[in-house]
Structure 1
């Protein structure tokens, strides 16, 4: 569902907000700088009072109010911020734990205590929502770099839920300090909580881009996000390079970040180009597969062991899928298991002997599959399991986040990192400025103390004798009010000679630090170098090796999964029923059909073949021969397997290699050459191959021989015959084609054949069935041909009838 959400919706939010169309009381963040405020509309004349229809006012208000609500939900609940990578509930949990002193070097605290503090002070929502968010932040199989250290049962990869919050305990992990460490250094703004009794940060001063490190997933109103996790070392090195070099390009970034790095490992099958496209557009999908090994056993036996799983998969889920496939139940509304389910059951049971979960504390993932026989091909065995279970899955990219402009928007990976780098530079600038202010304030205090130390006797006498000692000190020694207050508050022991030496030393050190801070703030290049150095130091401390292997391989698909490869005959009835019979050379006369039905066509192929069904409206559909039911029944309607259009029927069955050529034609006299590959379609609704005029229909296709000089034979309904070279017909993937045969009024094209040798015609002459070899003259395409002295029923020639 998330992949279906229109990522352009936020543009409408921005437009309404920037244009001032939001209703009063629903104001959002200011529009981005590039959006200029529209001019004030001119006031209407006093005598011209515009009266709008009530329903227009209500519609406008409802639209604006709903968009404001959608924006509020997206920003305050569902969509993470690009700066710290957290949703509001996650940010509040981390901040509350820090305020409680629940840090990585302190004892664990009860989860219920944390949850109560969060909902009581910052997040007035349900306790279950807060606890579930905290649980996810503690799960090492959900987050690449967990932010909470949990003690107790916090769930499992198999879908087991966490224990109640009264039983579990939590504290921050060391890496969480990278989000919280600079909170007290003037780096971020604070705002009042929901009731104005506490202050909370608007964002955390993240030292690293946690949005990409841990990823994010969420659904708002009209917008969703799906950001996969990445490796800390790779992302940090890119961020450091971007900060150091303004010329750093997106291509360089894509070379340094090969792809996501999931907590559970696995293997990414997609090509580098597919991953790059997803990163560049901010949207896409990649294929991820479980990692496995084959373990050798006694007497030549072997078993397949899954050691890593893709996102969203678990041992329990995989074994449940296998149980469902090998012990199928009738589908909803059906009384019995259908043929496809039985074929899947037969296939899996022919390959798989045992399936068990041997995961434990030492091996978090160990799923063992035993084959039916050691002679089974190992790659085929693995490919079949991947195709039918969640051992191979698709991971979506939808890089949506609340950007620096305060609006949720889908952006490329390069843009996300660029915005985070801007935020980090600004944060460090604020930190240095805050520290410079503290240093100047301390120097100011120490200078006052030093003045007192040099004039201690006079200061003591002045304080003893003056009615207003503060004012007297300020006037006598040119002190500020802050210095005078400090002098009056210090203890006498701080005026000793030793303390005086310490004051001078501290002033010297602070003056040196002030010089460095001023130099950094005045030199953007040096400050960026500092930011990049800090990022690399954090990466060195917290980074680890990549877990997810990136190796392009072909995805396992149901159509390519192992099937029992055997000869089969596909039978199509006059009323459009399909069935399968094992073997070739069947006695078709012995087949039985429903009352009023009869044989229309039979096609010999093999069970794994892709079968193309050509319909009378010019559409082509593709199914695997093994998907067509077998047994002794009458089969199933073709419309139950393909999206056959109303009022149409299947007129031909085809199989072959993708490069095999076919001549398609219509009763209107048009045609073109195409290939089996161009006729294939993965969609149930098929693909439109031939464009028809009203009243026209598609004729049975004619195979094009692979060798030899080919000719086309066309027969019209008026029993005229035309032969011309196939080279005169264009090859196109689809369309209407060219004129094959000229037709008179009320005449239609009846039969088309492609041949290389002699041409024979079957038909009726004087009431008798005859078959004659035809001596023909090769003409030009689009001619009307010559009359044949028989009613033409079949054209036979060359390889055309294969």
Structure 2
């Protein structure tokens, strides 16, 4: 059911709207009363349509869960449970300037009136809204234990107390001004707002995270000043573009700070597509100590990391346990343990009330390279992590959809303009109603004696007043209920003054409502006023850098010998000068190649399919066993064999060739790959095989020797071979039909052939002439088995 979970399927939401009443029922709300008598219920679907019926019912359920629980609304940035908590607290008078109230009282009010679910779900949502390390701008002011960054849970709701924060007024302050619609709660006994009249885009300020049915959202938090300036500018300027927005929003701003490592283009791509990820790193400093000592101190953590988690990871790495199903710790775990213990001396958490994050790492020696020390800790722990973007929210059309950041801003600005328009319209209605009442009172004031006489002498004073002074029923009722002291001369003056002030206000409101430009200017001005009141500085540093990878992290530098068997079993042994004759192999297997290197060196493996694989020598399992299949440490394709193994400097050159007679020169850097699946280095035609590559010394003049399967020899200058990073290459030797290239070598001045002649194995220095590349070569009276060259590194 792939189309069920693809939120970008064009007709998904049209299908979801097939069952709106079921949608509302699942969301915890009764369906709206029909405008006309309902149609009789449809008959049960025929058996042939059961799949379609199940699909429609499932999609309706998915929509209901997403809208009523998991996905926030673009207008106020809240999920339904959060919206109901805030509204219930406001209705109870639990404002920021009032005393705290017990959390249990709030939770009880929410589940009893608006949210008929478990109390733990409501309390957990309230706790998160009070945590300053979870929300960039907390909406609840908590008193008591509301958990910690280390993952400690909050105290029970009977022990904690809450009230709204001042910034929460930006969500709730305009509820009584006719700005949003209300609907009945789940049992019809109360009303609740469909959405809160947010004065700022809280979806982007605090972010959101949630998983629905087939839909998930992950919106990172942002800085209030940056977000509000974009919103205000977009409202003021009809020509505001996405490029301008991206220039004004450099990236997320997390509650815990940290450093964003991703490039501006990566961040822009995530904002533009609505999906992506960025790398975030902890921020740290090196503190100098006595006698030249130093220590690394973590001061800010990326999202999802905590001091307890980092120290737990360090403990796991330095005291490894066997993996599931294994009896002993493997070689990789032991190497990591050895590495960390060779660098790290102490690790402790010194966080307190004054410093919410302070994790201290002490090195084994002050002579350890500081950058290497930090890079190793970042690579092996959650001090460096990835933050996902998935900008899914319930849009203005009521459907959850993944949208770009520009679209989110655009929809919120539309909502805000419409909200202010409703607020002004509501206020205009209030002003007109008050003016209407005061005009009636003014008539009474001007004719007070006659009005009193009329009321005294008439059996039905209301109709008499209406007939005599052309009053409305509303004005007549107000006059009959007015107190006599309100008819004094002083009150008459106040009435005239109030009418004058209200007329000015009415004129201003009508002018604003009649001018979209003035309306937008008012909205932008209010946004900037709120920015001045609640804005703060950015916490997260945006400074692109390379991520610390395990392959680049420090490893224990020691001599090792890497051994590869003919059947592809790979292992390493510590030290150089190992007696290869003492090595044991599985039955039917034997040594293929062994190279001496250092543990941090990159080892290159060339597969028979033309792909090159890279692995660090330290990552190859050690010990005295038979090793592991090469396919378990690199991503070999099925049926692929390793034809060569080498190591070297990045600039070292290698001659690559295949049995089809083609080849080219590449560097070690060209062959290297960070992917486990390697990189395609050589392009092969059907039936062609990769020949063992030849590593060459740089700067020494050479020739290339090619031997065909028919024992023809061709020698030509190496300079005629093209250097390229990958591909098929150029023709090295012209081959006749049915012939193939068998051996390739390079040499400086002396070439020796090893082969068989008349049943005897001999070594021979042949007479040759230097020809041009791509020739067919000349026959040699020898069945050639190998090439021996001088001054060529193997």
Decide: shared fold, TM above 0.5: yes
Contact 1:758–1:774 (Cα < 8 Å) also in 2 = no
Deviates more, 1:390-399 or 1:764-773: 764-773
2:317 to 318, 325, 330: 325
Q: Which residue of 1 aligns with 2:591?
A: 599
Distance 1:415 1:798 in 2: 68
Please list, as runs of the form range in 1=range in 2, the aligned pairs for 1:750-761 lying within 5 A after superposition: 750-761=742-753
Please list, as runs of the form range in 1=range in 2, the aligned pairs for 1:220-619 lying within 5 A after superposition: 220-619=212-611
Q: Which residue of 1 aligns with 2:40?
A: none
Q: Which residue of 1 aligns with 2:8?
A: 11
Distance 1:90 1:221 in 2: 19
2:107 to 101, 106, 115: 115
2:158 to 135, 159, 166: 166
Deviates more, 1:236-245 or 1:509-518: 236-245
Q: CA deviation at 1:681?
A: 2.8
Distance 1:420 1:119 in 2: 29
Deviates more, 1:603-612 or 1:769-778: 769-778
1:711–1:410: structure 2 CA closer, same or farther, 3 Å change rule? Answer: farther
The number of equivalent residue pairs is: 775
Contact 2:670–2:725 (Cα < 8 Å) also in 1 = yes
Residue 184 of structure 1 pairs with residue 176 of structure 2: yes
1:110–1:504: structure 2 CA closer, same or farther, 3 Å change rule? Answer: same
What is the root-mean-square deviation in Å for CA atoms of aligned residues?
Answer: 2.4
1:298–1:200: structure 2 CA closer, same or farther, 3 Å change rule? Answer: same
Distance 2:499 2:368 in 1: 81
1:230–1:19: structure 2 CA closer, same or farther, 3 Å change rule? Answer: closer
Q: Which residue of 2 aligns with 1:49?
A: none
Q: SS at the partner of 1:10?
A: coil
1:22 to 18, 26, 48: 18
Distance 2:49 2:594 in 1: 66
Contact 1:230–1:259 (Cα < 8 Å) also in 2 = yes
Q: Which residue of 1 aligns with 2:764?
A: 772
Contact 1:753–1:800 (Cα < 8 Å) also in 2 = no
Q: Which residue of 2 aligns with 1:786?
A: 778
Partner deviation per Cα, 1:615-655 (whole Å, 9 max, x = no partner): 22323222111111233333222122122233332111132
Q: Which residue of 2 aligns with 1:95?
A: 87
Deviates more, 1:362-371 or 1:585-594: 585-594
Contact 1:739–1:782 (Cα < 8 Å) also in 2 = yes
Deviates more, 1:762-771 or 1:730-739: 730-739
Distance 2:83 2:627 in 1: 59
Q: CA deviation at 1:11?
A: 3.0
Contact 2:346–2:362 (Cα < 8 Å) also in 1 = yes
Contact 1:705–1:756 (Cα < 8 Å) also in 2 = no
Distance 2:639 2:733 in 1: 27
Distance 1:318 1:188 in 2: 46
Q: Which residue of 2 aligns with 1:34?
A: none
Distance 1:27 1:108 in 2: 37
Distance 1:526 1:421 in 2: 15
Partner deviation per Cα, 1:325-381 (whole Å, 9 max, x = no partner): 000011111111111100000000001111111111121111111111111111111
Q: CA deviation at 1:62?
A: 1.6
Deviates more, 1:326-335 or 1:754-763: 754-763
Partner deviation per Cα, 1:98-140 (whole Å, 9 max, x = no partner): 1111111111111111111111111111111111111100000
Q: CA deviation at 1:793?
A: 1.8
Q: CA deviation at 1:182?
A: 0.3
Contact 1:702–1:800 (Cα < 8 Å) also in 2 = no
Deviates more, 1:718-727 or 1:702-711: 702-711
Partner deviation per Cα, 1:33-52 (whole Å, 9 max, x = no partner): xxxxxxxxxxxxxxxxxxx9
Residue 716 of structure 1 pairs with residue 708 of structure 2: yes
Contact 2:8–2:402 (Cα < 8 Å) also in 1 = no
1:356–1:757: structure 2 CA closer, same or farther, 3 Å change rule? Answer: same
Partner deviation per Cα, 1:196-246 (whole Å, 9 max, x = no partner): 221111111101111111111111122211111111111111211111222
1:749 to 714, 728, 741: 741
Q: CA deviation at 1:669?
A: 3.3
Distance 1:647 1:134 in 2: 57
Partner deviation per Cα, 1:563-592 (whole Å, 9 max, x = no partner): 122332211112222122334444333433
Distance 1:714 1:452 in 2: 119
Deviates more, 1:764-773 or 1:250-259: 764-773
Distance 1:283 1:524 in 2: 34
Q: SS at the partner of 1:11?
A: coil
Q: SS at the partner of 1:368?
A: strand
Contact 1:225–1:399 (Cα < 8 Å) also in 2 = yes
Residue 641 of structure 1 pairs with residue 637 of structure 2: no
Q: Which residue of 2 aligns with 1:46?
A: none
Q: SS at the partner of 1:774?
A: coil
Distance 1:706 1:422 in 2: 66
Q: CA deviation at 1:792?
A: 1.4
TM-score normalized by the length of structure 1: 0.92
Contact 1:116–1:127 (Cα < 8 Å) also in 2 = yes
Please list, as runs of the form range in 1=range in 2, the aligned pairs for 1:665-680 lying within 5 A after superposition: 665-680=657-672
Contact 1:7–1:410 (Cα < 8 Å) also in 2 = no
Q: SS at the partner of 1:390?
A: coil
TM-score normalized by the length of structure 2: 0.93
1:17–1:649: structure 2 CA closer, same or farther, 3 Å change rule? Answer: closer
Contact 1:754–1:799 (Cα < 8 Å) also in 2 = no
Distance 1:11 1:379 in 2: 44
1:16–1:455: structure 2 CA closer, same or farther, 3 Å change rule? Answer: same
1:193 to 169, 176, 185: 185
Distance 1:646 1:590 in 2: 31
Q: Which residue of 1 aligns with 2:35?
A: none
Q: CA deviation at 1:767?
A: 3.2
